[in-house]
Structure formats: C-alpha cells, structure tokens
Amino acid sequence: MSYTALARKWRPKKFSELIGQEHVRRALVNALDTGRIHHAFLFTGTRGVGKTTIARIFAKCLNCETGVTAEPCGVCAACREIDAGRFVDLIEVDAASRTKVDDTRELLDNVQYSPARGRFKVYLVDEVHMLSAHSFNALLKTLEEPPPHVKFLLATTDPQKLPMTVLSRCLQFNLKRLPAAEIAAHMRHILDQEGIAYEAAGLKLVALAGDGSMRDALSLLDQLIAFGGGKAGEAEARAMLGTVARDHVVRFAELLAALDPAELVKGAQALEQFAPDYGQLLDELAGLLVRVGLRQAVSDYEGDELFAPEVIERLARALTPEDVQLFYQTAITGKRDLPLAPDPRAGFERTLLRMLAFRPAGAPAAVSAGAAAAPRRAAPAGAVPAAAASGSGEPALAPAPTPRETALGAAPGSGEPALAPAPTPWASIVNALELTGAARQLATHCVLIARAGAVVRLALDPHNQQLRTPAQEEKLAQALSRHFGEPVRLEFQQAGAGGESPALAAQRASQQELSSARRAFEADPGVQGLRERFGATVLPDTVRPLK
C-alpha cells in the first residue's frame, strides 16, 4: 500500500487554503481580479514556507478552464493536471541541477511557441540563485520582454545571490517564516481530519522544532506519529526531539528563585542520564522566563500549551522582574558560549551558577552550605572591588606608607589608606607642563636634582637615555621656561640611587594598587565560598583594580 506524506497530502491547492503569507496572497489575488498580471514573479523565503506551492496555485489561476481567476475550480483538466505535476504548459525547472548556460538556452528555445493546452506557458524555476552567471545573462532579454503567452515564476532561498539585473525585472515577494502558533493550529486541523489522537503540548514542540517551516513541521509530525505508534503525544515528542520533560525546566526555575546553587548542580547532574541537548534546554528555560516576564508585565497573560497558568503565576510571584531579566539574559548568553565550554554539561552548569553569582545590588544572596556565597554583585573578570571585606569583616586597608612615601608628602597618622605617595614637586611640575608624546616621556623619567637660577639640573636613568634627543630637550626647556616665566637651560647627569622619577612613582603606585586589589579579592567571602564549595581557582592575572 502507498502512503502520501502529510506535507504532500495537505499541500494547499487554492489561495483560500494557504496558511499565512497574507501579504503575498492579497497582492496576487488583486492582480488576478484586476487583470494587471506581471510577466515575472520572484518568490523568496526560507525552506518550506510555500514558495513553490504559491507558484503552482498561481499557474492554476492562469490556466483554469473557467478563465483567469483568483479561485481556480480545481476540477477541470488543467487544474487536475497541474496538481498531479503533468501539465504540459507548466515547465518546472530545478536550477540546482541545470546550472549550465546550455541548459538555459535549450529551455528558452521553446519560449516563442504558443502553449499546447493552457492559456499561458508558465516557467517555474526553483532555486534560481543556483544558475551560473552565463545562464543569467542568457535569461535576461527573455525575462524582460517575454512573449505575451509566457509567465516566469522564480523561487529562491537566497535572493542575495541574484544579479540586480534579474531582480529589477521581477515583482518580488518575500515569504515570511510562519509563527509556531499558526503551524500548531494547522497541525491540529490536519490531525482532527485524519482522526489521529494528539496532545496540544506535543504539537507545540513540533511546531517550535519546525523553525518557521510548515513543510519541516509536517515532516516531523509524520515522524512523531510513526514514533508514537499512531498518536502525537508530548512525551513521545520530547523523546523524539531529544528534549527533557518540562517538569525539569520548571524545577530549574524554582531552584533559581530559591537561590540554591547546590540543588541546581545536582539537578544538572541528574539530567546526564537523558543525554539532553543542553543548548535546547537553555532555550526552554529562556522560553519559560519569557512567559514569566510577560505574566509579571501583563496581568491577564495565561501562558500557553507548554506551561500551565498556575506554574507561570507561581514563578511570577517567586521571582523579581530584575531576576527574570538577569536569568533570561544569562541563559541566552550561555547558549551562545556553550560550544566554547570544555563539555556541554559543564557549560550548562556554569550558566546556572552564573545566574546566581551576578546578583543585582542589594538583592538577597545565594546560600551554599550554610554560608553566604555571593553577598553582593561580583565584579567581572578584569575588575575587583577597590575595598573588599576581610576575614574579620573589617575593611582591608592598604599597607602603611613607607618612610620614603612620608618624606615625599604622604600623610602619616591621617587614618586614610596610602596606596601611593603624594606627588613630588617635580611630578607636580611635569603635570603642569603642556607636553605630549616623547617630550613628556623624557620629563616623567627624569629626577629633579636642583634649580639654580636659569639652570635646571635633571638626572636620567641610563636605561632611558634613548628618550634624550636635541628636539625633545628643546621642547622640555621651552615648556619649563613658560612654566617658570623665565628662560631656563637644562643640564643632565646620570641618575643615582637617591631619586625616584614620576614614572617610577606611578609604576610603584600601580603595583601597590594591584597587590591590594588581589589581596582584597582573595579575602572576599564570596570568592572563598566558591573555592571551598566548587574548587574554584583565582587567576591573578585577570584581577584589576576598579578605577
């Protein structure tokens, strides 16, 4: 016995049976009703949205024996033969297998002859973007000025590959991806007519897997009916598609609301036995969070077939809108980063923990093993808080200033952290000078020895002698003359052990800030909790002080 696939059996045979694509249907129907029928049409869109189907319906409208009409009779010889794919005046060409210019010339040799049976000779060229450049050139003249009895219907999934000379000769219609709700509704209608039992949630999963393509969704529905032994249930759909039960997705959302990282990790480990697609699992979690966010924003939102209204309502009360947005954003970002993870399960676990690690400021902390795991929003990699809590709960202060820092202007006994000395007089002078580039580099690497009248004596480290050139010395002398209000002359000597240039002072201060930041980061209770609970390792090179 022969079986016809659902996608072929339920292919629309007239415009009134078409699912979606109202903008295309309306334009074609009006053109047929008014007699303003262009000679070339281009239908674009992703696979399975109805490009070839619309072209065949249009060919029936042109050649129906009742006349040119937007509603072909469907019973005349022309309509039946077009439906069966054997109408002599409907020439269907697969451009993917006939790409050569000789094939196109052979096709166009018969354009001049009148139709054998119908009113119009219709050329339906599928995947027209596959034609070669020479084939397009051979087609151009005929496509622009065909005989009155010829119509061209072109279809493609990649219109960007078509030359502008072809696009300018056609009326273009871009077919949209079908919404999952429309696909699911059409599948319910088909199964009702076929007398096949189904569950609405199972059809919704298949519609989502169809990804906007009615043909793909109906092919998956055929597979689901075979997999389910003659029915289309939710459990069978999840098993066939490799998705986990929605109870697990709801459970993850509840654990996120409870701020329980330990149970989240246990739940992720328990899913290993199902060998799930973790990217799809993050998709479902993000989809649930979208519904929760809609319930929080729209009071009468009731959900859909996948999640019961009471589940959405319970999660909407348990989660704050800020948490919903944070968890959703982390889920879709985690899916993007999943291929970069050591393995998919590790990437999924880290995504769940990241949702709890980056808590909004002032929000309750996630609790792990009876200790606070993240008392505040954690700083991103490359930044740490400037002042972190030490083990005793008191702010961690920087080391006391050295004698040299005090001599250069630090304020001992002031009670304030002294991460860097106060600017030296020479550093103050350099900051006030209008210098840029190499001249400023020369000034910051010098140490002021003394100034005696018009003579300014500077010391320069031997390692930085390359900065000293006549041009840069002249720029520095001119800047100092403007600063002091009188001409000055520079004298240089080799730097000894008793001076510190502004560049070295800034470098030392930066190192002190970095060391203080790393100590504060490692002393943070949240970091210690992650180390103890999950064996986390701090990468010192990624820690930077906040500016």
Burial track 35-67 (b if 16+ CB lie within 10 A, e otherwise): eebebbbbbbbbebbbbbbbbbbbbbbbbbeee
Across residues 432-443, what is the average pLDDT? Answer: 86
| CATH of residue 262 | 1.20.272.10
Share of the chain above pLDDT 70, in %: 86
Same domain? 227 vs 323: no
Give the Cα separation of 463 and 465 in Å (integer): 6
Q: What is the mean pLDDT of the chain?
A: 82
Q: What is the pLDDT of residue 77?
A: 92
Higher-confidence residue: 507 or 99? Answer: 507
**The pLDDT of residue 393 is above 80:** no
Same domain? 169 vs 225: no
Q: What is the pLDDT of residue 188?
A: 93
**The pLDDT of residue 244 is above 50:** yes
The residue type of 306 is L
**The pLDDT of residue 108 is above 80:** yes
Map tokens 């900065």 to a residue: 467
* Burial (0-12, 13-18, 19+ Cβ within 10 Å), 281: buried
Quick check: helix, strand or coil at residue 135? helix
Question: Is 72 in contact with 14 (CB distance < 8 Å)?
Answer: yes
Greatest mean pLDDT among 62-71, 308-317, 390-399 = 62-71
Tell me the per-residue pLDDT of 276-329, one tens digit each, with 9 for 90 and over: 788 888 988 999 999 999 988 887 787 776 777 888 888 988 888 988 999 999
Q: What is the pLDDT of residue 1?
A: 52
CB neighbours of 498 closer than 8 A, spacing ≥ 6? Answer: none
Across residues 38-62, what is the average pLDDT? Answer: 93
Residue 276 lies in a domain: yes
Q: What is the pLDDT of residue 270?
A: 83
Q: How confident is the model at residue 240 (pLDDT cuts 50, 70, 90)?
A: confident
**The pLDDT of residue 401 is above 50:** no
Same domain? 270 vs 318: yes
Of the CA atoms within 13 Å of residue 452, those in its CB half-sphere come to 5
Q: What is the pLDDT of residue 360?
A: 61
Across residues 467-482, what is the average pLDDT? Answer: 88
Q: What is the pLDDT of residue 383?
A: 39
Expressed as residue numbers, the domain containing 464 is 423-533+541-547
Q: How confident is the model at residue 141 (pLDDT cuts 50, 70, 90)?
A: confident
Domain's final residue, options 312, 333, 360: 360
Same domain? 252 vs 237: no
Same domain? 115 vs 188: no
Residue 29 lies in a domain: yes
Map tokens 């674009």 to a residue: 44
Same domain? 355 vs 468: no
Long-range contact pairs involving 96-100 (C-beta distance under 8 Å, separation at least 24): 96/126, 96/127, 96/130, 99/130, 99/131, 99/132, 99/135, 100/132, 100/135
Residue 527 lies in a domain: yes
Across residues 69-91, what is the average pLDDT? Answer: 91
Q: What is the pLDDT of residue 234?
A: 86
Residue 91 lies in a domain: yes
Residue 395 lies in a domain: no
Across residues 64-80, what is the average pLDDT? Answer: 91
Same domain? 236 vs 257: no
Q: How confident is the model at residue 170 (pLDDT cuts 50, 70, 90)?
A: very high
Same domain? 31 vs 146: yes
Same domain? 329 vs 455: no
Q: What is the pLDDT of residue 407?
A: 35
How many beta carbons lie within 10 A of that of residue 14, not counting itself?
A: 15
Q: What is the pLDDT of residue 90?
A: 93
Q: What is the pLDDT of residue 190?
A: 94
Number of domains in the chain: 4
- Structure tokens, 29: 């129907």
